[in-house]
């Protein structure tokens, strides 16, 4: 049977559960054993030594628990720091990879877009001034080329003193012209706020001369200065040359085959 001193030591080290167990077995210890001599009561010095030993044991266990908890906390802090470093390294790698991809795309891969818009202009047909208006749209290739379609019409204007006025059988008054076709445009230095563009166009349509309508073949060229008003808007203006051929007109109808004019374009889209 455990002695009372052992129970006291257990209570000092392990706390209340051992004390409860001591309470249960205390009556057994207190019961006299036949033929046994009663244990002598511990002296004050021995009791003090036992208490000091119990306190030292408890302090050692507490110190070990604290050291274990501190080691676990330090390991958790180190793991969190390593995770943050790995995350930062992954983010840096992603930034470098994204920058590399953007540079490769800008250097090698074309960036395409498109736009639509309208224009206003004028064209000097011989002794006349024809005001024109219309629309256009195109596919932008790598910011530098545009392929698209156009259409415009010109209204009647006052006739001047043309050099054919002495010929009674000659009619050179263009009441109206309606033309449409395709164009190719070259854009130089597209990233600049102001940059030049050059265009050639080919089309066909109808022209009314003194009230009679005839088929017309149209060709044109233009040089413009284009301004970047916004990321989605451009304004271009400049001179143009138009060529017109009337393949079905009778010999008595004379329309100047070339004209010089100017126009203003308003474009909206992705450039």
Q: Does residue 192 lie within any of the structural domains?
A: yes
- Domain co-membership, 73 together with 118: no
**In the beta sheet, which residues pair with residue 258?**
243
Residues 6+ apart with CB under 8 A from 147: 138, 139, 141, 182, 183, 184, 185
Q: Is the dihedral of CA 14, 15, 17, 21 positive or negative?
A: positive
What's the rounded Cα separation, in Å, for the pair 52 and 44? 12
What's the rounded Cα separation, in Å, for the pair 8 and 179? 114
Strands 258-270 and 174-187: unpaired
Total domains present in the chain: 2
| pLDDT value for 166 | 40
The answer to whether 243 and 221 have CB atoms below 8 angstroms apart is no
What's the rounded Cα separation, in Å, for the pair 137 and 149? 6
What's the rounded Cα separation, in Å, for the pair 159 and 161? 7
The answer to whether 156 and 129 have CB atoms below 8 angstroms apart is no
Closest CA to 215 of 203, 224, 225: 203
- Domain co-membership, 151 together with 33: no
- Domain co-membership, 126 together with 252: yes
Could you tell me the pTM of the whole model? 0.55
What's the rounded Cα separation, in Å, for the pair 157 and 175? 7
The domain of 169 spans 113-270
Count other C-beta atoms under 10 Å from residue 226's C-beta. 24
Residues 6+ apart with CB under 8 A from 41: none
- Domain co-membership, 40 together with 76: yes
- Domain co-membership, 138 together with 230: yes
Enter the tokens of residue 172.
């050179």
Closest CA to 38 of 29, 26, 49, 27: 29
Q: Does residue 118 lie within any of the structural domains?
A: yes
- Domain co-membership, 76 together with 117: no
Q: Does residue 131 lie within any of the structural domains?
A: yes
| pLDDT value for 38 | 60
| pLDDT value for 185 | 97
- Domain co-membership, 217 together with 156: yes
Q: Would you write out the chain's pLDDT as a tens digit for each of its 271 residues?
A: 445 554 444 444 444 444 444 455 445 455 555 555 565 666 777 878 888 888 888 888 888 889 999 999 999 999 999 999 988 888 888 887 777 777 766 665 567 899 999 999 988 765 677 888 999 999 999 999 999 999 998 875 534 344 444 433 334 455 678 899 999 999 999 989 999 999 999 999 988 877 778 888 999 999 999 999 999 999 999 999 988 887 777 766 655 567 888 999 999 999 8
| pLDDT value for 101 | 72
Q: Does residue 129 lie within any of the structural domains?
A: yes
Domain with residue 249: its CATH number is 2.40.160.20
| pLDDT value for 208 | 80
Q: Does residue 102 lie within any of the structural domains?
A: no
| pLDDT value for 162 | 40
| pLDDT value for 254 | 54
| pLDDT value for 242 | 87
- Domain co-membership, 187 together with 130: yes
Cα separations in angstroms, 132 against 98, 110, 153, 203: 48, 34, 5, 15
| pLDDT value for 139 | 96
Number of helices (H), then strands (E), in the chain: 3, 8
- Domain co-membership, 152 together with 74: no
What's the rounded Cα separation, in Å, for the pair 32 and 124? 138
Enter the tokens of residue 163.
């050099």
| pLDDT value for 199 | 97
Q: Does residue 181 lie within any of the structural domains?
A: yes
What's the rounded Cα separation, in Å, for the pair 62 and 37? 39
């Amino acid at each position: 049977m455990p002695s009372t001193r052992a129970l006291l030591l257990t209570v000092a080290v392990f706390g209340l559960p051992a004390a409860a167990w001591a309470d249960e077995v205390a009556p057994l210890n207190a019961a006299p054993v036949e033929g046994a001599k009663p244990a002598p009561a511990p002296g004050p010095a021995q009791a003090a030594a036992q208490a000091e030993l119990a306190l030292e044991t408890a302090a050692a266990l507490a110190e070990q628990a604290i050291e274990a908890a501190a080691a676990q906390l330090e390991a958790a802090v180190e793991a969190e720091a390593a995770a943050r470093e790995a995350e930062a390294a992954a983010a840096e790698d992603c930034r470098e990879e994204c920058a590399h991809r953007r540079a490769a795309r800008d250097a090698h891969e074309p960036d395409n877009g498109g736009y639509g818009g309208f224009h206003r202009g004028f064209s000097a047909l011989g002794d006349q001034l024809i005001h024109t208006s219309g629309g256009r749209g195109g596919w932008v290739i790598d910011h530098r080329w545009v392929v698209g379609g156009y259409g415009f019409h010109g209204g009647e204007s006052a006739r001047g003193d043309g050099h054919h006025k002495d010929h009674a059988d000659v009619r050179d008054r263009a009441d109206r012209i309606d033309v449409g076709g395709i164009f190719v445009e070259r854009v130089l230095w597209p990233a600049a706020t102001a940059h030049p563009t050059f265009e050639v166009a080919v089309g066909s349509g109808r022209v009314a001369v003194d009230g009679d309508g005839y088929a017309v073949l149209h060709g044109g060229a233009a040089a413009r200065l284009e301004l970047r008003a916004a990321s989605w808007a451009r304004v271009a203006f400049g001179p143009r040359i138009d060529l017109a051929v009337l393949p079905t007109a009778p010999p008595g109808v004379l329309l100047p085959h070339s004209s010089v004019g100017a126009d203003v374009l308003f474009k909206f889209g992705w450039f």
